Structure 1
Amino acid sequence: MREVRQIGQALILALLFLLPVQAALAEVNAGNRAYSTSRPFKITPVATFDTPWAIAVMPEGRLLVTEKGGRLYLVTLDGRKQEVPGVPPVQAIGQDGLLDIVLSPRFGTDHQVYFTYVEPGEGGGRLALARARFAESGDIARLADLAVIWRATPEGGGGQPGGIIAFAPDGQHLFLASGDRMRPQTAQDPGGSLGKILRLNLDGSTPADNPMAAQGGVQAQIWTMGHRNPYGLAFAADGKLWEDEMGPRGGDELNLIRPGRNYGWPLVSNGDNYDGTPIPRHRTRPDLEAPIVYWTPVIAPAGLAFYSGAMFPTWHGSAFIGALRQHALVRIAFDGKGGAREADRWDMGQRIRDVVVAADGALLLIEDRPDGRLLRLTPAK
């Protein structure tokens, strides 16, 4: 009888992947939105990096900045930077390299950082998640006690690694966005981690209450599936998890992430394949989750951050997205009922890879280019 109950529970949990979130939430195409005509902020360059990828804000205001080529820097807001040794070898080709970095929810006591990178290997690199202790002695900082706690499956190369990390608001679990590595069908394969959002314990093990925990293996780690190239993942103040991802020719997405749901790629999209062949639209498959906001033409969304700082009080609750294709910073406003809209789009003149909120409430952006700048945005007046 116990085995029968377990099979029944597994079937119920698996069926969650077929249920829509809220049929009443309409998709909004923000692709043709014009740039905002005025900027409520001034821009101050802080430092320059070789193709920077992600920013982590430390409690006292210093920053950790990754470069795609495999270097990590400790940075102050007056522009001083020093390389932090201890990063493992990375495969830095095309879209691959050293990717996201975040502080442990218990950083004040465990001094750990988590980061993602594409690990070199036969047949092409694969996405890896590692954690290490941020060790400081005097003016010297390094990564110590490094351990890889998760690796993507199946192996094999390709771009679109994803690699974004977000911790649950209670600090008990880690969410990891894994791209499809340019192999679209992997996003619908529950036996692999590509094209998925995973939910892990802080040590990389599998939580017992995941949607398909009873299935074991990789399947037990899956929180959602059907993702293409997720480059933004963040929790709002109300505890909702949001994700942005790049579509093909059209159909970039902002998704409200719910456990056990299937977000459709490559079965549906609001864009088409690069060779021009059509893909069925989200509206044709109400059993699959549709984006809340989508962009056709694309903006190529990257970093995602929710604002809660003191410098821009009217932006509390807004989210900010870096736009690579549109060279823009995009502000998203929410209606509190699961709906969202693009509220502002500012022309930044360069591809914006990541955006975070500084300890003092300023916005920090990095440009995606070989001489990419770290920019600090503060109120214009």
Structure 2
Amino acid sequence: MIRPFSRPFSRLGLIALAFATPSLATAQVEQGPANAGFEPAFEAQTRAPALEDSTVQSERFAEGLEHPWGIAALPDDRFLVTERPGRLRVIESDGSLSDPVSGLPEVDARGQGGLLDVALGPDFANDRMIYWSYAKRVADGTVTAAARGVLSEDRTSVGEVEEIFVQSPVSQATKHYGSRIAFDGEGHVIITTGEHSDAPEREKAQDLEATWGKVIRLNLDGSIPEDNPFADGGGAPSIWSYGHRNIQSAAFGADGTLWTIEHGPLGGDELNDTRAGLNYGWPVVSYGLNYDSTPVGSGEARMEGMEEPTYYWDPVIAPGGMIFYEGEAFPGWQGDILVGSLKPGALVRLTLEDGRVTGEERMLTDVGRVRDVEETAGGDLLILIDAADGAVLRVSPGEADS
């Protein structure tokens, strides 16, 4: 019997497992035909068995937001939420919105750019430090950047602002900025980036001197950890992993593993167990196609020395933010991944066992583009609906049909 793996294998190294993994149930989430149609490297690497339908209900919690992008829970039943045009607001416990919080830098809101993720620092209770990522307009173009600052006691302003990361080199393309923020509990902040999409610039996802299409790992103050894989040379010292397309999901599992989900092109969204110094393949290999249906890079889905995704979607879900659920409201979900879908739009749940996806469920398929997910203190969920007249929905257990 093959033992399920708990760390990534190279794309070629998993082919043998495809023929030795025990057969799983065949019922799958309805999603239409694949675009690329590559054979997965192992069973349930895509189109995992459909989970039993959960009973959930949603209601509007906050309204009047313009393209909300990131949300973070404050410790007093309030929430920080970003709007892509450049506003940070506080959502009160009754769903009302504050005026914009002052003190944030100007953002580059062209194209897919703007104010992106927001997160509370790991010692927020003592230092009130918050972190955010954003598109920054510079003299020759645009970049992904991240900063931190101290949220005032009355939550109306941010002070002591300092930039901790600025992507390099500069891009002309106002697409694929990433960017999620996560903390590993060991004094490091993770910042994900995109590769700005356009060919041939997207090749910089493979360039270890560029911070496009990378996972970035820094100390909380923006300095470089000594144990980063390229801290002693061979690449930009801030890089943790490379070969990514556009990562807009990042979260740490209970065992400390960093999981990311990146947008594919026409098919090929990837869930990755994201490890130090490893190459995740873009744009050399992909389980998707270019938007004009031509092959990506080599035209292959896997190649020696490039990591195999733990899971992929074809057609895409267009991933938003993700969490590992920890609450009591949905006890059967504890430890599961919850991720927003922008296209076709949904809340997606994945179950994991020994580093492998064992099931998938799609809920709230009629609410629109789900850009981020946050858990409340009581275990309900808040999901961001990304639209010009965007909103925050509260998701709670529904009543089972009698």
| TM-score > 0.5 by shorter chain | yes
Task: Kindly report which structure 2 residues correspond to 1:1-381, keeping only aligned pairs within 5 A, or say none.
Answer: 23=14, 24=17, 26=42, 28=44, 30=46, 38-48=53-63, 49-82=65-98, 83-137=100-154, 141-158=156-173, 159-170=175-186, 172-182=187-197, 183-215=201-233, 219-279=236-296, 280=298, 283-335=301-353, 337-346=354-363, 347-381=365-399
Q: CA deviation at 1:181?
A: 1.1
Q: Distance in 2 between matches of 1:322 and 1:224?
A: 23
Question: Which residue identity is paired with 1:142?
Answer: S
Q: CA deviation at 1:33?
A: 8.4
Identify the residue that residue 3 of structure 1 maps to in structure 2: none
Change (3 A) 1:111 1:21: farther
Q: Distance in 2 between matches of 1:178 and 1:84?
A: 25
CA contact (8 A) 2:327 2:378 kept: yes
Change (3 A) 1:262 1:294: same
CA contact (8 A) 1:250 1:298 kept: yes
Question: Which residue identity is paired with 1:147?
Answer: E
CA contact (8 A) 2:286 2:302 kept: no
Q: CA deviation at 1:74?
A: 0.6
Range 365-374 or range 338-347, more displaced: 338-347
CA contact (8 A) 1:214 1:220 kept: yes
More strand by share: 1
Task: Calculate percent identity across the aligned residue pairs.
Answer: 40
Question: Which residue identity is paired with 1:339?
Answer: R
Identify the residue that residue 13 of structure 1 maps to in structure 2: none
Q: CA deviation at 1:284?
A: 3.6
Question: Which residue identity is paired with 1:59?
Answer: P
Change (3 A) 1:18 1:298: closer
Q: CA deviation at 1:348?
A: 3.5
Change (3 A) 1:349 1:30: farther
Q: CA deviation at 1:306?
A: 0.6
Q: Distance in 2 between matches of 1:21 and 1:142?
A: 51
More helix by share: 1
Question: Which residue identity is paired with 2:81?
Answer: V
Q: Distance in 2 between matches of 1:239 and 1:331?
A: 20
TM-score of the superposition, structure 2-length normalised?
A: 0.84
Q: Distance in 1 between matches of 2:301 and 2:90?
A: 46
Q: In angstroms, what is the RMSD of aligned CA positions?
A: 2.2
Change (3 A) 1:334 1:37: closer
Structure 1 unpaired stretches of 5+:
1-16
Structure 2 unpaired stretches of 5+:
1-7, 18-40
Count of aligned positions: 359
Secondary structure (helix, strand or coil) at the match of 1:155 reads coil
TM-score of the superposition, structure 1-length normalised?
A: 0.89
Change (3 A) 1:233 1:59: same
Q: Distance in 2 between matches of 1:21 and 1:169?
A: 33
CA contact (8 A) 2:45 2:357 kept: no
Change (3 A) 1:245 1:342: farther
Q: Distance in 2 between matches of 1:21 and 1:359?
A: 43
Q: Distance in 2 between matches of 1:290 and 1:343?
A: 19
